[in-house]
Amino acid sequence: MERRWVTMAGLAVGMGCVVEPAGAAPVVLPASVSLPDELARALKSGRPLVVMVSLDGCVFCRLTRENYLGPMQVQQGLPVVQVDMRSTQPVRNFAGAVVTHDELVRSWGIKIAPTVLFFGSGGLELAERLVGGMLPDFYGAYLDDRLELAKKKIAQPSRP
């Protein structure tokens, strides 16, 4: 039975499908409700607001939550929220308008989950987006590099 599952999973991944096994309790990140408020709390702590764009059932999203963002939130207090593709849940965007999660994702031009964004003052992106999850050996390093860059930009005094 296990061999058949491994073979089926291998075929699914080879065909571009992602299969998420059942059974494990998922790590949950807080869903974004108000980006301006969430950003203000993050900046007050001297950190960027990290936003993970996720898709229900996406195995790479689950791995990103469980192995990187969830532990960083719990252990380091990383300010992170999740925005879900295809969700009709309301959220206040950086301009103050109430939109759905899906509308927000589309306005950002995001087509791949997971995508991790790093926001600073005024809702400006401070580092390159971390798109996808296919590089498990390097994902943590890419995430750390972008977080470090975003933190440095927040710490720099604004220039007129």
pLDDT tens per residue across span 73-88: 999 999 999 999 999 9
Provide DSSP, 85-119: TT---EEE-TTS-EEEHHHHHHHTT--SSSEEEEE
What pLDDT, on the 0 to 100 scale, is given for residue 115?
98
Phi and psi torsions of 91, nearest 5°: -150, 145
Q: Where are the domains of the chain?
A: 26-155
In the predicted model, residues of the chain with pLDDT beneath 50 are 1-21
Q: Half-sphere exposure (CA, 13 Å, Cβ side) for 106?
A: 8
What pLDDT, on the 0 to 100 scale, is given for residue 133?
83
The architecture CATH gives domain 26-155: 3-Layer(aba) Sandwich (3.40)
What pLDDT, on the 0 to 100 scale, is given for residue 95?
97
DSSP 124: E
Residue-wise pLDDT tens digits, 139-157: 999 999 999 999 999 998 6
What pLDDT, on the 0 to 100 scale, is given for residue 17?
39
What pLDDT, on the 0 to 100 scale, is given for residue 22?
52
Question: Distance between alpha carbon 117 and the CA centroid of its chain, in Å?
Answer: 6
How high does pLDDT run on average in the chain?
86
What pLDDT, on the 0 to 100 scale, is given for residue 137?
79
- Who contacts 121 (Cβ-Cβ below 8 Å, separation ≥6)? 39, 43, 154, 158
What pLDDT, on the 0 to 100 scale, is given for residue 63?
93
Integer CA distances (angstroms), 151 to 78, 117, 128, 141, in order = 11, 13, 13, 15
What pLDDT, on the 0 to 100 scale, is given for residue 27?
81
What pLDDT, on the 0 to 100 scale, is given for residue 129?
97
Neighbours of 144 (CB within 10 A): 12
